């Protein structure tokens, strides 16, 4: 009798574990929706038009990331928030290296995250690894991408 109960519990535990693993795998392979209109998910098919062509008019910051990569998970929201703050002064293009191995090979991506800045169809600067927001803003400023002007602080006059 005890063996039957133990076997039933093991079966239920196995089923629950299987369901959990399947849900985790599905979440890991979901393509995240762009956080703003200044961000786009890019594939090998859309890369030339979305990145190379767009970079002739507007700088494009390309984030080569992996869904399973903790530094990528940290940097992704930092880049998205920075893109929102810069209000279109650059486009943030996101490339999932696991889904787009041809792009990873084309740009010789060895570590994630790798972030490349494109202008006029060419890579003009890059960095590898997670960075805090101030460091991303400094990287952009070094490469001529400036945030919108902020209105002067109120002097308390009414």
User: What tokens appear for 147 in the block?
Assistant: 């945030």
90 is catalytic: no
Catalytic residue among 50, 61, 72, 103: 72
> Could you give the CA distance from residue 92 to residue 1 in angstroms, rounded to a whole number?
61
* Contact yes or no for 125/144 (Cβ under 8 A): no
69 is catalytic: yes
Catalytic residue among 40, 44, 69, 125: 69
Give CA separation, 84 vs 11, 24, 37, in Å: 48, 29, 8
User: What tokens appear for 35 in the block?
Assistant: 């956080």
Enumerate the active-site residues.
69, 72
């Amino acid at each position: 009798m005890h063996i039957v109960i133990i076997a039933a519990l093991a079966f239920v535990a196995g089923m629950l574990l299987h369901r959990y693993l399947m849900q985790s795998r599905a979440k890991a392979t979901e393509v995240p929706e762009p956080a703003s209109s200044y961000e786009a998910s890019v594939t090998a098919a859309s890369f030339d038009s979305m990145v190379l062509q767009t970079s002739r008019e507007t700088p494009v910051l390309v984030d080569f990331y992996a869904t399973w990569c903790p530094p990528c998970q940290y940097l992704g929201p930092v880049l998205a928030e920075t893109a929102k703050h810069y209000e279109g002064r650059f486009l943030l293009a996101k490339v999932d290296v696991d889904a787009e191995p041809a792009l990873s090979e084309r740009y010789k991506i060895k570590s994630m995250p790798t972030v490349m800045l494109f202008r006029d169809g060419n890579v003009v600067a890059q960095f590898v690894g997670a960075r805090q927001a101030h460091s991303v803003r400094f990287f952009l400023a070094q490469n001529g991408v400036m945030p919108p002007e902020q209105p002067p602080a109120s002097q308390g006059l009414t």
